[in-house]
Amino acid sequence: MTRVVTLGEIMLRLSPPGFERLLQSPMLSATFGGAEANVAVSLAHFGLESVYLTCVPAHAVGQAAIGALAREGVRTDFICRRGERLGIYFAEAGASQRPSTVIYDRARSSFSESVAGAFNWAEVFTQARWFHVSGVTPALGPGAAQATAAALRAAKEAGATVSLDLNYRHTLWTEAEAQAAMRPLLAHVDLVIGNEEDLQRVLGLAITGVDIQRVSVEFGPRLVAVTLRESVSASDNGWSAVLWNAQTSTFTESQRYSVRIVDRIGAGDSFAAGLIYGLIAGKSPDAALRFAVAASALKQTIPGDFNRVSVAEVEQLAAGNASGRVQR
Amino acid sequence: MTRVVTLGEIMLRLSPPGFERLLQSPMLSATFGGAEANVAVSLAHFGLESVYLTCVPAHAVGQAAIGALAREGVRTDFICRRGERLGIYFAEAGASQRPSTVIYDRARSSFSESVAGAFNWAEVFTQARWFHVSGVTPALGPGAAQATAAALRAAKEAGATVSLDLNYRHTLWTEAEAQAAMRPLLAHVDLVIGNEEDLQRVLGLAITGVDIQRVSVEFGPRLVAVTLRESVSASDNGWSAVLWNAQTSTFTESQRYSVRIVDRIGAGDSFAAGLIYGLIAGKSPDAALRFAVAASALKQTIPGDFNRVSVAEVEQLAAGNASGRVQR
Amino acid sequence: MTRVVTLGEIMLRLSPPGFERLLQSPMLSATFGGAEANVAVSLAHFGLESVYLTCVPAHAVGQAAIGALAREGVRTDFICRRGERLGIYFAEAGASQRPSTVIYDRARSSFSESVAGAFNWAEVFTQARWFHVSGVTPALGPGAAQATAAALRAAKEAGATVSLDLNYRHTLWTEAEAQAAMRPLLAHVDLVIGNEEDLQRVLGLAITGVDIQRVSVEFGPRLVAVTLRESVSASDNGWSAVLWNAQTSTFTESQRYSVRIVDRIGAGDSFAAGLIYGLIAGKSPDAALRFAVAASALKQTIPGDFNRVSVAEVEQLAAGNASGRVQR
Amino acid sequence: MTRVVTLGEIMLRLSPPGFERLLQSPMLSATFGGAEANVAVSLAHFGLESVYLTCVPAHAVGQAAIGALAREGVRTDFICRRGERLGIYFAEAGASQRPSTVIYDRARSSFSESVAGAFNWAEVFTQARWFHVSGVTPALGPGAAQATAAALRAAKEAGATVSLDLNYRHTLWTEAEAQAAMRPLLAHVDLVIGNEEDLQRVLGLAITGVDIQRVSVEFGPRLVAVTLRESVSASDNGWSAVLWNAQTSTFTESQRYSVRIVDRIGAGDSFAAGLIYGLIAGKSPDAALRFAVAASALKQTIPGDFNRVSVAEVEQLAAGNASGRVQR
Amino acid sequence: MTRVVTLGEIMLRLSPPGFERLLQSPMLSATFGGAEANVAVSLAHFGLESVYLTCVPAHAVGQAAIGALAREGVRTDFICRRGERLGIYFAEAGASQRPSTVIYDRARSSFSESVAGAFNWAEVFTQARWFHVSGVTPALGPGAAQATAAALRAAKEAGATVSLDLNYRHTLWTEAEAQAAMRPLLAHVDLVIGNEEDLQRVLGLAITGVDIQRVSVEFGPRLVAVTLRESVSASDNGWSAVLWNAQTSTFTESQRYSVRIVDRIGAGDSFAAGLIYGLIAGKSPDAALRFAVAASALKQTIPGDFNRVSVAEVEQLAAGNASGRVQR
Amino acid sequence: MTRVVTLGEIMLRLSPPGFERLLQSPMLSATFGGAEANVAVSLAHFGLESVYLTCVPAHAVGQAAIGALAREGVRTDFICRRGERLGIYFAEAGASQRPSTVIYDRARSSFSESVAGAFNWAEVFTQARWFHVSGVTPALGPGAAQATAAALRAAKEAGATVSLDLNYRHTLWTEAEAQAAMRPLLAHVDLVIGNEEDLQRVLGLAITGVDIQRVSVEFGPRLVAVTLRESVSASDNGWSAVLWNAQTSTFTESQRYSVRIVDRIGAGDSFAAGLIYGLIAGKSPDAALRFAVAASALKQTIPGDFNRVSVAEVEQLAAGNASGRVQR
């Protein structure tokens, strides 16, 4: 199996049932998620050896996070058990004109306080084919930023391909801080992923999808992918993406889906995972992008952060079967 | 804080889960609602001192109704505890071509049997800026009609602005009865609210939204607001409103939303509350109407009768942000 | 009351909550369904004497299946209690681009192993006005095929009208097997029902809705009804049907609904029941078809296999009221 | 099958989950129950032809009550659909030192307002072997009292055995009213059932179990059964009964169970049903009493009013196997 | 109404359903609790004017905490909205030999970081009859300790009676720290409450219940109450208490209950509230202690931290009715 | 880590909520279990490398079984994906005098039809320290019996210790069949485990716990453990065990627990796992037996088949702390 390594924070996600507002009822659905954890789960479902690196506290909540990942097929044996608490986020699903809302309670998490020095990078990256991280990870604090840099270096040394999802979070840092931290990282990155807002805020590039080659020119990555979300309402979104391949100077536009949203959290992560899988599987950029967009459209129909779909399911949609007919 | 007083019946609302038919599963969601109670809750969420007047039985179900209101910030200290039972209504959510259905079981409620003589109106209306009631209240019986009239008088004496939502209920009275009872009340009313059907049935005016000035001319209120619902299906509605200001002779048409319905019960009440808040907050008629329509669009995305939204959330939508993007 | 007899297998249906993937949460909704059982329930709701014939094991799961039918008003006193297990199917609801999926676990069921010889057909069909069966039943094995044939003969002998829903299931037999078994049965059938795929696979007719008179010409039934589903996505479907009456040489096209899908399983069965009811009630073919399409549109808004709607509800929709306004 | 007829009111029962207080969570379990309905369900589970007579409103809640009975095998075809509302009761389960509580909301029910004149008694009692009613029924109002008397007469005329559960409800009438109404009825009764409090309040007999022959002497019934509950706490009860047979002058004391209470509502009804079944089945008084006490002990381990147990399950316990070992 | 003021931290409590281990299912019940909040809720249920002082963040989780208190009748208008997060605790219910477990995640809460300087003590204590705080509050950090001391001073200045529940939490401080902080506070305290372990750890007194007068002698409070829990298992506990009144030199032993535990969290708080109420209500020490023990026995039969019982319910149990018979 | 291998069938377990009877509500809790799977999960929680061997179908239900095991830390990489269906069992929890009931629907499972030849035994047993299997496995059919024998041989060849839980299932085979199959296996077994009924039915030994040395003498295993359950009721059981060590001729009697049952299914499996762990960890027979009995007492307080407890939790109970006090 091909090994892909990801590094990041996993959080306990607490959501009210259905379309209720947060704590409207005294019941919360309790799942787990985090940008890179979501990528790791997708990749495990796609059949890769998905190694996820994080730190969780050595108590029942931390253990449950590990169990949730293991259940999806992620390799959890490198995860460190340290620190005091697992980050938490409250996610309320929007509908129609009412936006979804997220409240983060992740400060002082085990990951942000313990990840520096938690891993033997050389050991982790043995036989690794790919490394993926998002902009959330370095934003979590000095230790996390240091671990991100160390991981990027180790990945390159091990010959792994590196992908970075810009993933700007205004609750974690300012645009200036993000730019100062992220721009230098891009030199080590092969594939950069983001949406238009990310390009603006993290790279300072006021461009639309079609100009994405500028990312490559200015910052170095040979592959640049941008997801395009048209937010008609909290219930209905258009979803597509574009890809720039600087080596072949080809610009690819994906198919577009009108998605009836079930849960849009993790869409970008599932796109990243789809693209990584597609490229690892040797698909053409066009086919890999189709796969990534199909995978992430499916994600948005599944509750929770994780994209619980198989390669076969994604391929079927990517091949054009979007009719939703019953599969018996 | 500005005090607004409302008077009416609160009921236990029993609904099956999701889109199930009533009692398809042996489980009912149990919440509370009623036209004026819904207005009172909205106003409390908007930061006003919201005094709700009702009667409930002195047992656990009645107490739970009070608790439900208090939880939303409504002042419940004037509520009387009398009588035998709390009214109940069974509400089944429709979908697509299947309409929502409501079965009322409200006869002989504490409110209808005990409200006459339950309040010291002068005390209640001390410092009251506004009084709101709907056509449901006088329809609940002679005692309730008498209390409505007494409240209207006391409100005017205290210098409060008075709003009335016509709110016709064919299960409570005939059109003739409604007209006989409601038309005289309008003389004491500053703002009358209704939908086109209400205008027809309660006022006997066969008009469309654009002719609403006739309500003012014929019955006296200086402000007339009409909500306009386009029922594409039980799942999809258009939603907008118009407002006539007789003092300035201005007719205002609101923005229009295509709403993916989560729960449409209480939409009119949340509109009334939005308009009351907007006018109390000193907004222009146009801005107040925008606020009211935005507030009531949001209501229809939230389960239950109550509109659990803040001024900030409504303002954001009223300002044009209907994209439903995640708020982190 | 008019007696209608149906024969088939009822299964335990296990579904995850909401839009979750199967076993994403450790909770399954447990209901019952099966092609003819669904027809029987619809007919009972329409006020007919609905006699359902099946076999279930003599344990709590089998008894629960009987109870579920009895609760809906189906006559269950002919049901035999034999064999080892009730068939099971796992049904996961799709959304948007993600299709619904069904996993069958029905092999070796009480029905398939015990139905041959289980009934005294003459007794069952006393006073029966109609007999309905689907192509699933003979596909369940030699015993089931033999019972189907016996029932058809007994029905005709008793003077009952016979309807057959082609209902092709590729998991049960090949097209060749289906054609060999089903074509001869059509000689005894008055009304044949199917979708375009069924016509192709079971009858070998590559026709569209408008050519359905060929079914009558080639195979004998005087009435041929075809349902037409336009699968925009798993969430949105167009729904309509056509009917050919060979006796009057009239071709009828129904109204068309854009259905926001809640649960599409059982749509075809509810269509069949609607058509049977409409014809028994003496409606014109056009009115019966309208009724059937309205009934089956409503089905798709209700969770579970069963169409829990009354004649009055169907008539209201069939009469053109598709606005979904609240019924108080 | 042997026909047993019962007459009474069925109510919607609303209970909070687990040991929560009423409406602590916004969720209620919604089942159905009523003294004679509970007896009817038990008898249907024991394999008798159980005909239940009641009136329910012709709307979805009334229909659900009928469905709930039909599901358990009760014959519901005599039930009349009239009146406005189904009675409701809220039942909160106690634990340890906290008692269970019941709030009734049954005034003006369809049954109490419509039952007089609702049935053709002669038709109902054709082939009836037994008639059972409880003291709740005549307490529900003049119409209900009149129907009770008519039913008793018709039962005797049809040669049926008559049983009466005294079942005193202080919320429905005073002891004086109960005595005035119930004492005359006893002349038509073969088997009278009650607990010690019932004997005191309804018959005015301050006796303990051992003196129960006085009931027979003073009021006529040849069989007198008294249930004996030792309330250690809401969680733990002792449960046993005694039976006096005036014809044979034998006094029988049952086995005694220490019951860990799951739901004690309906215990007396399940005892009555057990005794009726035992006597119909030709058991000795001793064996019938054992069966009745075993049946009603099992009831108290099952949520809801209904005793969902088979004859085989009761026999196994009555035979002495109270170990609770897993039955595979 | 008599005003009682309490000061402390309220937390979001997350618990798995039933007896499941934490996060065994992806569902958590979400309620609120905290030592003084629990006392405040009890007192509100007992009809006192219960003013609760705390700080919560100005987001939906903080607002939900306020709503939860308001629903129970607590006055929440003094609560400050500041800081970043609400403390959380995960509580898993034990059973039989398996202990309940609690994981705290309360560091850096709004309360601990913002309470210093949050209140105008003079205003708060106007007309206050009683002030209650527990040892948890000063343990939460320097700001919280400072606020505790300020509140105690202001309470005494306002002439309020002061009660202190020792409530030792080893996760918050060492015994040495606790003793250094708590011993000086006792000089301002009228009533001190604790269990035997608290006396040992917080006061350094290795005494059993019967020697509790030493607390009074050594530290000053005129009333000393000690709760006595006999932990047979997580499911079964003995529960009683003793009270020393130094003014009258009387030692009172309470009744004892064998409690079948539903939820033991908050038992001590409900005892404190019962004792405060009893003393305010002018009961004798003996009667007040009986009331407190009865109230806290009832608490242990109710899920959640809050003791949702009325004075009437407690009086009924205190009067000796522990049979748990159904209250209709 | 020490590797322990187990071989058996894992099933989908479907249970009604709380103490409801099966399918009383349309909801089933869906978990997984099986004798050896339960042992494997316990061992993983105890920190061993727990390799579980089974076959599941290659569809979502099979995959969910694998996920459930992986989540608990079991190594699932040897599991084969073959065949048509996963076995199912319906488990209804009893209470008080009502026994728990189990309905099996496991015929034709992937395991029973595919396990023969599914594994490369030599590879599996590399570095294996222990092998465990129960009498259920060979009872599942010829293929399963053949696999059991092959595994036992391979285990012995690899030098692993072998344990066998007799685990008689009358639904799978007769006593004669069990004896014929199982007696020869015992020659390869180091540790045999059973209850008194198993000894009787599988070995034909009518002995009580104290004579268990006869098992060793007659059949060879050097260690014989017998669990002793006193079934007071379905809610209350005594639980203890005895151990015979033939090498040291020592007979050990364990501590005894009065267990308030939450879920007794899997108690024997958790005992086996506790004993295996204790022996592997080098505990004395006495300490290992204490550990096993404590572990299995805890199991009976946890819903589901799996014993989700850590070594530390078991040690705490085994050390004598059975008070159930809250662990903060």
Q: Hey, are the CB atoms on F70 and A68 less than 8 Å from each other?
A: no
CB within 8 Å of A190: residues ≥ 6 apart:
A161, A162, A163, A221, A222, A223
Residue F322 C-alpha from the chain's centroid? 24
Is residue C133 classed as helix, strand or coil in its secondary structure? strand
* CB neighbour list of residue B251: distance below 8 Å, 6 or more residues apart: B210, B212, B213, B242, B243, B244, B245
Q: How confident is the model at residue F272 (pLDDT cuts 50, 70, 90)?
A: very high
Q: Is residue C210 scored above 90 in pLDDT?
A: no
Q: Which of C163, C182, C198 is nearest to C272 (CA)?
A: C163
Q: CA C177 from chain center: how many Å?
A: 21
| A73 contacts F71? CB cut-off 8 A | no
Q: What is d(CA D292, CA D287) in angstroms, rounded to the nearest whole number?
A: 9
> In a 3-state reduction of DSSP, which class is residue B165?
strand
Q: Which chains touch D (3 or more CB pairs under 8 A)?
A: A, B, C, E, F
Mean pLDDT of D80-85: 97
pLDDT of A210 over the 80 cut: no
- D23 has a chain A CB within 8 A of its CB: no
**Apex CA A81: angle with CA A77 and CA A86, to 5°?**
115
CB A32 within 8 Å of CB A65: yes
Residue D76's closest CA among D44, D104, D117? D44
| C115 interface with B at CB cutoff 8 Å | no
Between CA C14 and CA C32 the distance in angstroms is: 8
Across-strand partners of F164? Answer: F133, F192
Q: What's the rounded Cα separation, in Å, for the pair C237 and C263?
A: 11
Longest Cα separation, chain D: 55
Please report the pLDDT score of residue C15 as a whole number. 98
Kindly indicate the confidence band of residue A322, based on its pLDDT and cuts at 50, 70 and 90: confident
Could you tell me how far CA A99 lies from the centroid of its own chain?
Answer: 21
The dihedrals phi and psi of B99, each to the nearest 5 degrees, come to -75, 155
* Structure-block tokens of residue C93: 């609801």
Asked whether the CA dihedral D62, D64, D65, D67 is positive or negative, the reply is positive
Short-list F82, F88, F181, F171, CA closest to F135? F181
DSSP string, C293-321: HHHHHHHTTSSSS-----HHHHHHHHTT-
- Where is C194: in which H helix or E strand? strand C191-195
Mean pLDDT, rounded, of chain A: 96
Beta strands in chain B (DSSP E): 3-7, 11-15, 27-33, 49-53, 55-56, 80-81, 88-92, 101-105, 128-134, 161-165, 191-195, 223-231, 236-245, 250-253, 257-260
Query: Does the pLDDT value for residue E210 go beyond 80?
Result: no
Question: What is residue B308's three-state secondary structure?
Answer: coil
A170-195 residue pLDDT tens: 999 999 999 999 999 999 999 999 99
How high is the pLDDT of residue B44? Answer: 98
Contact map slice: E 159-198 vs F, CB within 8 A: 169-171
Give the right CATH number for F35-53+120-318 from 3.10.580.10, 3.40.1190.20, 1.10.645.10, 3.40.50.920.
Answer: 3.40.1190.20
Please report residues of A whose CB lies closer than 8 A to that of B257: 96-97
CB atoms closer than 10 angstroms to residue F247: 9
CB atoms within 10 A of CB A211: 14
pLDDT at residue C244 in the model: 97
User: With a cut of 0.90, is the ipTM above it?
Assistant: yes
pLDDT of residue B206: 83
The chain B residue lying nearest E68, using CA atoms, is: B71
Q: Is B105 on the interface with C (CB under 8 A)?
A: no
**8-state DSSP, E127:** T
Query: Would you list the DSSP string of B285-300?
Result: HHHHHHHHHHHHHHHT
> B55 with B11: CB under 8 angstroms?
no
Angle between helices D175-185 and D142-157 in degrees, nearest 10: 20
The token pair that represents C192 in the structure block: 């044949």
- Tens digit of each residue's pLDDT (9 = 90 or more) over D287-302: 999 999 999 999 999 9
Q: Does E297 touch chain D (CB under 8 A)?
A: yes
Judging contacts by C-beta atoms under 8 Å, the chain E residues touching residue D99 are: 321, 323-327
CB contact (8 A) between residue D22 and residue B88: no
Burial of A248 (0-12, 13-18, 19+ CB in 10 A): exposed
SS (H, E, C) D256-312: CEEEECCCCCCHHHHHHHHHHHHHHCCCCHHHHHHHHHHHHHHHCCCCCCCCCCCHH
Which residues from chain B sit within 8 angstroms of residue C326, using beta carbons? Answer: 94, 99-102, 264-265
Q: How confident is the model at residue C325 (pLDDT cuts 50, 70, 90)?
A: confident
Share of chain D above pLDDT 70, in %: 100
Q: Evaluate if residue E116 carries a pLDDT over 90.
A: yes
Residue A207 has pLDDT above 80, yes or no: no
How many angstroms away from the CA of D20 is the closest CA of chain E? 6
Contact C169 A328 (CB under 8 A): yes
Cβ atoms B52, B79 nearer than 8 A: yes
pTM (predicted TM-score): 0.98
* Minimum Cα–Cα distance from B235: chain A residue: A96
Other chains touching E, judged by 3 or more CB pairs under 8 Å: A, B, C, D, F
User: Would you state the structure tokens that stand for residue F268, as one six-digit string?
Assistant: 């024997």
For F211-229, the DSSP string reads GTHHHHHHH--SEEEEEEE
Residues in F closer than 8 angstroms to A312, CB to CB, are: none
Which tokens go with A246? Answer: 């600087």
CA distances from D85 to B103, B158, D8, D40, D110 (A): 10, 41, 15, 22, 6
Over range A12-22, report the average pLDDT.
98
Query: What is the mean predicted confidence (pLDDT) over C37-66?
Result: 98
* C23 interface with E at CB cutoff 8 Å: no
Neighbours of B182 (CB within 10 A): 26
Cβ–Cβ contact E64 with A under 8 A:
yes
pLDDT one digit per residue (tens) for chain B, 328 residues? 899 999 999 999 999 999 999 999 999 999 999 999 999 999 999 999 999 999 999 999 999 999 999 999 999 999 999 999 999 999 999 999 999 999 999 999 999 999 999 999 999 999 999 999 999 999 999 999 999 999 999 999 999 999 999 999 999 999 999 999 999 999 999 999 999 999 999 999 987 777 899 999 999 999 999 999 999 999 999 999 999 999 999 999 999 999 999 999 999 999 999 999 999 999 999 999 999 999 999 999 999 999 999 999 999 999 998 888 899 8
Instruction: Indicate the pLDDT class of residue F247, thresholds 50, 70 and 90.
Output: very high
Chains that touch F (3 or more CB pairs under 8 A): A, B, C, D, E
pLDDT band at F194 (very low <50, low <70, confident <90, very high): very high
